[in-house]
Structure 1
Amino acid sequence: MKVLITGASSAAAYQLKSKIGAQQVILGDYTDLPGVMLQSGQMIKLPEPADPAYVHKILSLCMDRGITHVYTTQQTEFELLHQANQLFEEYGINILAATDEIR
């Protein structure tokens, strides 16, 4: 299982990461992140939720990186991605809120 957790600049993302226990967890955020974290590959830059192509960019990112679960820490992100839940499910990708039960 490969997991993407959004809101990498928040404490909630790190708390969720420790609870998941997946072998591969990627933290990502659309806000400014420290360059050293991006360069080391510990975090990735995500598209802005205001971007009209946000859903498609996240889907592409998940497919490119083999991500099967996306946990969102921001309500806006969850709402946008959940609206396209059927599309993500077709590719075997689960969209979850950070408050959802860990799967």
Structure 2
Amino acid sequence: MKILITGGNNAKALKLMKAFPNHFVVLADYGDVPGIITENYVFSSLGILNKDSIAHILLNFCITESIDCIIPLHDYEIEPLAKSAVLFGEYGIQVLLPETDVLPNYLSSDKTAYPNFAVYIHGDCIFSSDNSIPLKQSPEFNGVFGYDLSADLKLFTL
């Protein structure tokens, strides 16, 4: 599987890579990106940032690069991608976010740096940075979430 993680110039994106050791990861960001290619991952540029056409930019990139799954980390990407998840799905691209109607429950108003994160796909916790939160969620539950000792899940964003 080929996974796109946006915000590739940020340490959080690199931290998230350990959740996908058996997949090829594309770390992408807007503007200048280091030209690094390895057997397991690559850094790539998404071009110039245009917040008005985020979903279009990312869909184009995913189709061109044969991406199977996208994990948006920039906070300005979250809502446009959640609203476009059905369109991405028509191209066989999974958007790893909660559904639009419950999305506000997982957005954080402050920039809290959570010490841990967990990855959920179809309600199953496939990775937890400290193995303490393997709770099963509803089958529609998707995303990468930061959490602390309270286990209050918030989207893992930049």
Shorter-normalised TM-score: what interval? 0.7 to 0.9
Match of 1:93 in 2: 93
- Bigger relative CO (Cα 8 Å, ≥ 6 apart): 1
TM-score, normalised to structure 2, is 0.54
TM-score, normalised to structure 1, is 0.79
- C-alpha RMSD of matched pairs (Å): 2.3
Whether 1:16 aligns to 2:35 is no
| Paired residues of 1:49 and 1:76 also in contact (CA < 8 A) | no
Q: Give the aligned residue type for 2:120.
A: E
Match of 1:44 in 2: 44
Whether 1:72 aligns to 2:72 is yes
Query: What fraction of aligned residue pairs are identical, expressed as a percent?
Result: 31
| Paired residues of 2:19 and 2:119 also in contact (CA < 8 A) | no
Unaligned runs of 5+ in 2: 98-116, 127-158
Match of 1:28, SS state, is strand
Q: Give the aligned residue type for 2:95.
A: I
Q: Give the aligned residue type for 1:60.
A: N
Select between 92-101 and 54-63 the one with higher mean Cα deviation. 92-101
| Paired residues of 1:2 and 1:22 also in contact (CA < 8 A) | no
Q: Distance in 2 between matches of 1:3 and 1:64?
A: 13
Unaligned runs of 5+ in 1: none
Q: Distance in 2 between matches of 1:22 and 1:31?
A: 28
- The 5 Å alignment of 1:47-58 reads 47=47, 48-50=49-51, 52-58=52-58
Residue 49 of structure 1 and its aligned partner are, at CA, apart by 4.6
Residue 17 of structure 1 and its aligned partner are, at CA, apart by 0.8
Q: Distance in 2 between matches of 1:77 and 1:66?
A: 20
Match of 1:89, SS state, is helix
Count of paired positions: 99
Match of 2:142 in 1: none
Residue 95 of structure 1 and its aligned partner are, at CA, apart by 1.0
Runs ≥4 in structure 1, deviation > 6 angstroms?
none
Larger Rg: 2
Q: Give the aligned residue type for 1:87.
A: L
1:15-74 residue CA offsets vs partner (Å, 9 max, x unmatched): 11111124311000114333x44xx58311114251x33212211111111101001112
Match of 2:71, SS state, is strand
